[in-house]
Structure 1
Amino acid sequence: MREEPGFVRDLGAMERILHFYASEHPRHFCVVAEIEGTIDPAKCRAAFDAVQAGHPMLSVCVRDDPQRGPGIYRCDRPLKVGFSSVDEEPDWRRVVERELATPFADSEGPLMRAMVMYGAHGASIVLTSHHVLSDGMSAVFIVQDLMEALDGRPLVRLPELPSQERLVADVLLPGGRTIDPEMPDGLDERRLRTIADAPLWRPFEGDTPLVHTIEFDAPFSARLRRRSRENATTLNGALCAALVQCVAEADRGRETCAILSAINCRPLVRTADRD
């Protein structure tokens, strides 16, 4: 255990590779929430402060130690939240494009930032998160907490969670087995850095993010979700399959089409849905 000011814990193996990968090929992500009603920037700022106070991982950064590797450390910086009127920023898609092109400084934190575009009848909120400590579902839960804070409801402070590997080791390994779940056998620091230095399926350098959207109405979304469950898949899996089909039809000369689809590990490690 490191005895350093602000130290929280070591990064797990998955967190380490995401940290190393982001330093070479920034691949953070955005979640957008569109809400109705008048937004007061001061109250919205206070709601973000309440959300940050309830989520310990929204007040951390990642620092590299030459001897012990990267670890999570507390930081006292408030979340970076920008505000603009819809007259200045009429299309949140352009904001997402800029956010995706702007990397995080892992050693500074926090590892999430927000942009609020507000008007007379509603607002669009763009949350940009670093993958090392957040996934898509986590970001959606943060949006939910933000809505509750805007509604004046108190938020419960969540506990600091261990790494994914530690959760798996505690739940699935036989009693008495001793391993280092933060760095499993065969995944030393050098190998993780080598993996992270390589592109996934192609180089990303020089990319300019472009965002296009398709909007589904509520009845269609409900039917799509129901059919996904009937076919023992997820809504995300169905959309990924449809995307691959569209690419295959548009480029019939393509021999392969690779797509990465995240999975939800929460049921496997028996954590609460909100963790």
Structure 2
Amino acid sequence: MQCVDRTQAVAVCRPLGALEHLFWLYDRAHPFHFALTAQIKGRFSVHQLQQALTLVQQRHPLLRVRIALDEAEQPWFVEDSAAIPLRVVQRQSEQHFEREVEREIETPFVWSQAPLVRVVLVHSGNDAQLSELIVTCHHSIADGISITYLIRDILQAIALRALPSRAIATPTALGQSLPVPPSREDLVPGNAPETISGLKPMPQFTRMSGSFPVVQPMRQNNRQSVSASSLSPETTLLLLTRSRQEQTSVHGAICAAFLLAIRQQNHSEQPQNLKCMSPINLRPYLTSFNQEDVSLWISAGRTSHHLSADANLWDVARSLKQQLNQIMTPDKLFEEIFQTQQWASTHPSPDVVLQGFKDQLFDSDIDVSNLGRLTIQQQYGELELQAIYGPVVRTGAKNDLGVTTLGDRLFFTLVSEESVMSRAQSKTLHEEAIHLLKEAIE
């Protein structure tokens, strides 16, 4: 039996890559999925959204998979026929989506059941017609940047369904169904990517997740608090301009502001050593492939900061940028990919992976997942994409911050564990960091 199903454009059957494998193991010890939220202005029906989800699921292969184990107990992505789950709630307020994101983050995936993605629509019934679309993914199949492309494809599909001719509303209207995306290691320059579809015999999948304990939703005392905010176009431009003048980056300035806010919240006059983790987009470093796949093509780096009571935001921002520049070289990034391969080949247990990630990356005071300036459009027929918040993820860091720049505005989403920091403290931290950022550029 072969991996190719001749009745479909693309059939999925490939082993997990090294990072995908480790993220799957990590998820078995600590729920590891993330959510991105799109704020949309304009009218569309639940039926239109359901049709759009069907189209994008046909386009992106990893939206159709579950994870199964072969006879050697190695995990594979295997296609399964299951529609993307859609939950619809009536929008109550501008902050309502934050509570729904908290619920999504607290609800783990069952990795043996397809698909490893789900959607929530916070639907508006008023004249303003503002709605939020929350896309939640198991981290083994995707990263934040790839889900921004998925959100674009969903909105394109809704816009296509609104046109008079239904004949164009097919997967090809969004482009051909994509091939199965390779893993990171297959795209390192100099490597020969494996031919993924059709050349490998289908293994026998003999053991499913019923043989393993299913990760349960988090306990009441381990809930998450989510808060979102944004900068005006004028403030966003000022931050960009001032960051360039200070010979640093917007990412450096944002990380510095939140690190200093954490330092202030610790209420100590003594110098403090704080750590910041920054995911890194690998797409600019990998060999040519469709850059807009739903896929997992990231790395990460952790920076350390010795902060005194009078630490200057721009000094911290420059230090962070310099440390990341040392990490973000092709040689260092490819070395990390090969080390990850080597680690995965040792068949570590979920607990070993949990501890390993904590020691190397996630034992940080804050994780700042900055997706940068998004290149996707904002107008889709009569629909306007007004904001993207996130990614919201529970890495295991004390705080996780998602940052995006859409159009001329910056958007922030902070998630904190209530067992570590109360909802009020998290909101104060968020507000103080934004205040420090604005203060630094005025």
TM over 0.5: yes
Deviation string 1:170-204 (CA, Å, 9 cap, x unpaired) is: x245x8xxxxxxxxxxxxxxxxxxxxxxxxxxxx9
1:262 and 2:279 are equivalent in the alignment: yes
In structure 2, relative to structure 1, the CA distance for the partners of 1:63 and 1:229 (3 Å cut) is: farther
1:136 counterpart letter in structure 2: G
1:125 counterpart letter in structure 2: L
Deviation string 1:218-244 (CA, Å, 9 cap, x unpaired) is: 232344345556667654444223211
Q: Which moved more, 1:242-251 or 1:131-140?
A: 242-251
* Equivalent residues in 2 for 1:76-225, closer than 5 Å: 76-87=81-92, 91-119=96-124, 120=126, 121-152=129-160, 154-156=173-175, 157-168=177-188, 171-173=189-191, 207-225=222-240
> Could you tell me whether the CA contact under 8 Å between 1:104 and 1:111 is conserved in 2?
yes
> Could you tell me whether the CA contact under 8 Å between 1:113 and 1:128 is conserved in 2?
yes
Determine which of 21, 46, 58 is the counterpart of 2:51. 46
Aligned residues: 244
In structure 2, relative to structure 1, the CA distance for the partners of 1:134 and 1:237 (3 Å cut) is: farther
In structure 2, relative to structure 1, the CA distance for the partners of 1:95 and 1:241 (3 Å cut) is: same
- For residues 12 and 290 of structure 2, the distance between their equivalents in structure 1, rounded to whole angstroms, comes to 25
Query: Which structure 2 residue ranges, 5 or more long, are not aligned?
Result: 6-10, 161-168, 193-217, 294-442
In structure 2, relative to structure 1, the CA distance for the partners of 1:33 and 1:66 (3 Å cut) is: same
* Equivalent residues in 2 for 1:14-25, closer than 5 Å: 14-25=19-30
* SS of 2:280 mapped into structure 1: coil
- For residues 95 and 228 of structure 2, the distance between their equivalents in structure 1, rounded to whole angstroms, comes to 15
Deviation string 1:94-138 (CA, Å, 9 cap, x unpaired) is: 000010000011110211111001113121111111110100101
* SS of 1:211 mapped into structure 2: strand
Q: Which moved more, 1:2-11 or 1:74-83?
A: 2-11
Deviation string 1:1-56 (CA, Å, 9 cap, x unpaired) is: 98799761111111111000011101211111111112211111111111111111
Partner of 1:274: 292
In structure 2, relative to structure 1, the CA distance for the partners of 1:163 and 1:230 (3 Å cut) is: farther
- For residues 231 and 92 of structure 2, the distance between their equivalents in structure 1, rounded to whole angstroms, comes to 26
How far off its partner does 1:83 sit?
1.1
> Could you tell me whether the CA contact under 8 Å between 2:65 and 2:78 is conserved in 1?
yes
> Could you tell me whether the CA contact under 8 Å between 1:39 and 1:123 is conserved in 2?
no
- For residues 226 and 85 of structure 1, the distance between their equivalents in structure 2, rounded to whole angstroms, comes to 40
- For residues 24 and 115 of structure 1, the distance between their equivalents in structure 2, rounded to whole angstroms, comes to 25
In structure 2, relative to structure 1, the CA distance for the partners of 1:243 and 1:107 (3 Å cut) is: same
- For residues 96 and 110 of structure 1, the distance between their equivalents in structure 2, rounded to whole angstroms, comes to 19
> Could you tell me whether the CA contact under 8 Å between 2:12 and 2:65 is conserved in 1?
no
Partner of 2:304: none
Deviation string 1:248-267 (CA, Å, 9 cap, x unpaired) is: 22213684323321001001
- For residues 78 and 230 of structure 1, the distance between their equivalents in structure 2, rounded to whole angstroms, comes to 50
1:65 and 2:85 are equivalent in the alignment: no
Higher strand share: 2
> Could you tell me whether the CA contact under 8 Å between 2:44 and 2:158 is conserved in 1?
no
- For residues 231 and 93 of structure 2, the distance between their equivalents in structure 1, rounded to whole angstroms, comes to 27
RMSD value over aligned CA atoms?
A: 2.8
* SS of 2:77 mapped into structure 1: strand
> Could you tell me whether the CA contact under 8 Å between 1:39 and 1:122 is conserved in 2?
no
1:215 counterpart letter in structure 2: S
Q: Identity across aligned pairs (percent)?
A: 28
How far off its partner does 1:247 sit?
0.8
